Chains A and B, each alone.
Chain A
Amino acid sequence: MPLLPAGARGAMTDPLIECHGVTVRRGGEAVLDNVGIAVMPGEMVSLIGPNGAGKTLLLRVLLGLLRAEEGRIASRPGLRIGYMPQKLELDATLPLTVRRFLSLGGAVAAGQRAGVLEEVGISALADRPMRALSGGETQRVLFARALLRNPDLLVLDEPAQGLDIHGQDELMALIEETRRRRECGILMVSHDLHVVMAATDRVVCLNHHICCTGHPTDVEIDPSYVALFGERAAGHLAAYRHHHDHVHGLDGEVVGAGGAHGHDHHQGHDHHHAHNHGHGARDG
């Protein structure tokens, strides 16, 4: 069951957005095959899957940017969506400051903009040209633009893409904090379960169809997840998990200094194998 923080906007039982039976074909092949997904108020759902699995495509269908051949999409009436696209490709000839970029989503009161810049930690960048920003700064500016819409639902497409591990951790912490403060739902795409794991309520693993879904610690040991991401990803996790045993140092660099970072949340992690082998994580 999704975790619903108290005080989330709207009716608790209605999803912010959901789809059922979404199918999209490209050249006869179903790139999305009977996919259903829902995000509840205040819930953080991570959509993971390998490259080319159809993650961004599913986001585009949910956002109404692409029409699915089959399936049904429903969102709560008046739902405000803040969208953070995967990439921003600005032409070098377009002079645009951060402030101006943020105003393109609609008129913004100066006070509100200052507040969001502060919230995202980029107050100092307001007058900088967009093209002078680093990858991490650009991601934060995109995130700020999504927040300026006062969203009920944040849709983030690979927000940590192209960042180093430190940058990824910082951005994920910011996203987690934002959810707590604003009590908005979040649907986030990632190709890496580890990046999103700590903050996520529910993981949906997609490879054209939905392979498995559930709590991150269930999904990571789901046979279909292991099959999809390979033994290496699974081995990775095993190494993480047994870090505190000081026994199974399968992968030296992983077990090393940075290895434990971000995984302190997994209480009782030593027992995962025994617990979860039986029931898998297919709770639909």
Chain B
Amino acid sequence: MVTGRGMDDFLIRALMAALGIAAIAGPLGSFVVWRRMAYFGDTLSHSALLGLTLGFLLGVDPTVGIVGICAVVALILALGQRQSVLASDTLLGILSHGALSLGLVSLAFMETMRVDLIGYLLGDVLSVTWNDVTVVYVGGACILAILIWLWRPLLAITVHEDLARVEGVPVRRVQIAFMMIIAVTIAIAMKVVGVLLITSLLIIPAAAARSLSRTPEQMAVIAGLVGMLAVLGGLAGSFQWDLPSGPAIVTAAGLLFVVSIAGRWLAPR
């Protein structure tokens, strides 16, 4: 389907992993967009590299290290929002770039650990293993299940937090659960698009889906489909012209976004 050379095994794995991640990223990303948390997602994903080295140091699975460090950063941010000395975008900027630099520095110190740095920064979907694919689907299924379970309260606090609280929504617990599923998503998406580009896979398909949707649920599903379309296009380009896979997928998503905007402008009102 992609080329005449036939579907190689690694390409099937790459497609499956990336499609799975796009399917999760669409609905989750819709909430990131509605809740204006794009920079928050960036900050979490930038700290993933630090989680990687931490996991290595502690001798645990890198995914565990990444989820752990993302959870810590998310909690620091949640607490930081209660103080008024620093604006939250300043705090996000400090944590985001601080964590990324710390991750790069700690990687440089670890002489015994040979990592494909570019692969972690920009993603290397063509190197995913069947084990990775399993993690994407099992993890993804859990994330989607939790998201569906959180759907109404999360939507309620997105629309108006105080109102939701008065109406009995356990706001803080819902917020923390949402942050945690973003952290897990970042951990499992890292291999596909890399820490620098994860947020774009969350927000670009959701932004592209906006003009096509009339309900929140429609937007979530369409965002997933747009992301999957971007994966197909990006991987095809990557395979055809030997492009880096992560940036190719994000570029394809960006093109779809432009098309959606153009379609909106051209559509008769």
Contacts and interface: CB of A to CB of B under 8 A. Distances in A.
A90 B159 contact: yes
Interface stretch (B51-59, B95-103, B140-148, B162-170): B162-170
A244 interface: no
Nearest to A129: B214
B215 interface: yes
A88 interface: yes
B51 to A, nearest CB: 30
Contacts of B159: 88, 90, 94, 96, 101, 104
Contacts of B218: 95
B215 A85 contact: no
Contact of B167 (A90, A96, A106, A129): A106
Contacts of A85: 160, 162-163
Contacts of A96: 159, 215-216
Interface residues of B, number: 26
B33 A65 contact: no
A94 B158 contact: yes
B162 A60 contact: yes
A94 B162 contact: no
A48 interface: no
Interface string B156-199: 10111011111110000000000000000000000000000000
B97 to A, nearest CB: 26
Contact of A65 (B35, B165, B207): B165
B219 interface: yes
A163 B164 CA distance: 25
Which size bracket describes the interface of A in this complex? 20 to 34
Given A88-B160, A105-B167, A93 B34 contact: yes
Nearest to A130: B159
B264 interface: no
B216 A100 contact: yes
Contacts of A233: none
A91 B156 contact: no
Contacts of A81: 166
A63 interface: yes
A97 interface: yes
A225 interface: no
B163 to A, nearest CB: 5
A145 B156 CA distance: 12
A236 interface: no
Nearest to A148: B167
B210 interface: yes
A242 B240 CA distance: 86
A155 B167 CA distance: 12
A149 interface: yes
A83 interface: yes
B156 A104 contact: yes
Contacts of A65: 162, 165-166
- Which of A64, A90, A93, A101 has the most chain B CB atoms inside 10 A of its CB? A93
Given A94-B159, A106-B167, 5 more contacts: A63-B165, A85-B163, A104-B159, A105-B163, A105-B167
Interchain residue pairs A-B with the least CB separation, the first 7 = A83-B166, A104-B156, A94-B34, A105-B167, A93-B210, A95-B213, A91-B34
19 contacts: A83-B162, A83-B167, A85-B160, A88-B160, A91-B35, A93-B34, A93-B206, A94-B158, A95-B214, A95-B219, A96-B215, A97-B214, A101-B159, A104-B155, A104-B156, A104-B159, A105-B167, A129-B214, A155-B166
